[in-house]
Amino acid sequence: MSQLTPDRQRQMLRQMLTIRRFEERASEGFRAGEIYGVVHAYSGEEAVAVGVCATLTDRDKIISNHRGHGHCIAKGADLDRMMAELFGRADGYCKGKGGSMHIADFKIGMLGANGIVAGGISIITGAGLAAQMDGEGAVAVGFFGDGASNAGPFHESINIAAGWKLPVVYVCENNQWAVNVPAAESVPTPNVADRAAGYGIPGVIVDGNDVFAVYEAAAAAVARARAGEGPTLIEAKTYRHRPHTERIDQPDARPKEEVARWLEPDRDPIPRLIARLQAQQGQLSDQELAEMEAAVQADIARAVAFAKASPFPTLASALDDVFAA
């Protein structure tokens, strides 16, 4: 990774660790009843959000889906306000009115999670249209899953983006399962990326658990978009470590051996990155790793404290923000 300095590589590890620990704490909070809304954990897929967002600048836009915490963190969202939103507090990103599936931070170009599968794909295409009209080289990146690639907006949006050469990067996180149905039963082609051929755009398959591979694929797609050459479809093959949601009675039809295999250190994106950095002379000492882990845990603890200290929204606020003045 010649473009990425050792510092940058360590930052990427720290972001991935932050996402993992955030999700672990959110799951814990859900089980403890502190967080009463649904939580879809991104654990296991961290390399995709971090690898892609490492290629973006502040002016670039992203959109997310129901499994959106990782995308927010990778784009630079504030952990305190994220956690406060999950706790349903007034200082949350959405003042406690959005919850996990609607966290947005328009100031950093995070146009929101979206609770409707495929709902964000056309919106991010519109951000691409706006970027093209602005003509200042910004790009728009849409994150969605394998399931969304079967839905109409996937086709409608990519068809338009390809025709109009919009600066959009479509990132399909293929975690291989819908809630309980294998993606292979729903996607008739071997790869989601194969569908790119139908729009005459590049379809790139990448190991979604290798953050540097994701980074390289995204960097090429972003460069292509900035150059006005149009969109790219990236399929990042990955796996979710957790069931679809953190509900205690959430059924999980995935074979236990399959899940266990993906949790092993040679597949889990975080141990893989640690091993890689440690194998490179001087990139990451044991002490640096321990300090990083402690710092991340402190960030999460601070976010939880912030959330708990924040008041619940006032009842009067329920009627605010329906219409803009």
Partner 1 sequence: MATDILMPALSPTMTEGKLAKWLVKEGDVVKAGDLLAEIETDKATMEVEAVDEGTIGKIVVAEGAEGVAVNAVIAVLVADGEAAPSDAGDAPKSDKPSDDEDEAPKSDKPKGDAPKSDAPTSAAPPPASPRVAAAPKPISLAPMSEAAAAEAKFYENTKSLTVREALRDAMAEEMRRDEMVFLMGEEVAEYQGAYKVSQGLLDEFGPRRVIDTPITEHGFTGIGVGAAFDGLKPIVEFMTFNFAMQAMDQIINSAAKTLYMSGGQMGCPIVFRGPNGAASRVAAQHSQCYASWYAHCPGLIVMAPYSAGDAKGMLKAAIRNPNPVIFLENEMLYGQTFEVPVDEDYVTPIGRARVLREGKDVTITAFSLMCRDALAAADQLASEGIEAEVIDLRTLRPLDTETIITSVRKTNRIVSVEEGWPYAGIGAEIAATMMEQAFDWLDAPVLRVTGKDVPMPYAANLEKLALPQVADIVAAAKAVCYR
If one asks whether residue 238 binds partner 1 (CB under 8 A), the answer comes out as: no
User: Coil, helix or strand for 168?
Assistant: strand
The residue within the footprint of partner 1, chosen from 27, 34, 97, 191 (CB under 8 A), is: 97
- Closest by Cα among 143, 177, 151, 149 to 67: 143
If one asks whether residue 65 binds partner 1 (CB under 8 A), the answer comes out as: no
- Closest by Cα among 190, 194, 183, 120 to 157: 120
If one asks whether residue 95 binds partner 1 (CB under 8 A), the answer comes out as: yes
Rounded least distance, CB 133 to partner 1, Å? 6
If one asks whether residue 108 binds partner 1 (CB under 8 A), the answer comes out as: no
Rounded least distance, CB 65 to partner 1, Å? 13
Nearer to partner 1, 110 or 211 (CB): 110
Nearer to partner 1, 130 or 219 (CB): 130
The residue within the footprint of partner 1, chosen from 29, 44, 88, 96 (CB under 8 A), is: 96
Residue 141 pairs with which residues in a beta bridge?
Answer: 62, 169
- Show the tokens assigned to 47: 């390399």
- Please give the backbone phi and psi of residue 169, each rounded to the nearest 5 degrees, phi first: -115, 120
Q: DSSP assignment of 205-255, as one string?
A: EEETT-HHHHHHHHHHHHHHHHTT---EEEEEE---SS-SS--TT----S-
The residue within the footprint of partner 1, chosen from 6, 37, 152, 228 (CB under 8 A), is: 152
Residue 235 pairs with which residues in a beta bridge?
Answer: 172, 205
SS3 content of the chain, % helix, strand, coil (to 5): 50, 10, 40
For 253, left (φ over 0), alpha (ψ -120 to 50), or beta?
Answer: alpha
Nearer to partner 1, 215 or 306 (CB): 306
**Tokens 């979206």 belong to residue:** 114
If one asks whether residue 122 binds partner 1 (CB under 8 A), the answer comes out as: yes
If one asks whether residue 321 binds partner 1 (CB under 8 A), the answer comes out as: yes
The residue within the footprint of partner 1, chosen from 43, 125, 150, 310 (CB under 8 A), is: 125
Nearer to partner 1, 60 or 268 (CB): 60
- State the amino acid at position 282 in one-letter form: G
If one asks whether residue 160 binds partner 1 (CB under 8 A), the answer comes out as: yes
If one asks whether residue 300 binds partner 1 (CB under 8 A), the answer comes out as: no
Q: Give whole-number Cα distances, 221 to 54, 169, 266, in Å.
A: 13, 6, 27
Give the 3-state DSSP-derived string for 17-45, with helices as H, strands as E and coil as C: HHHHHHHHHHHHHHHCCCCCCCCCCCCCC
Rounded least distance, CB 23 to partner 1, Å? 21
The residue within the footprint of partner 1, chosen from 128, 202, 203, 243 (CB under 8 A), is: 128
Rounded least distance, CB 66 to partner 1, Å? 12
The residue within the footprint of partner 1, chosen from 14, 102, 165, 226 (CB under 8 A), is: 102
If one asks whether residue 131 binds partner 1 (CB under 8 A), the answer comes out as: yes
Residues that bind partner 1 (CB under 8 A): 61, 63, 92-98, 102, 104-107, 111-112, 114-116, 119, 121-131, 133, 140, 152-153, 155-157, 159-160, 163, 320-325
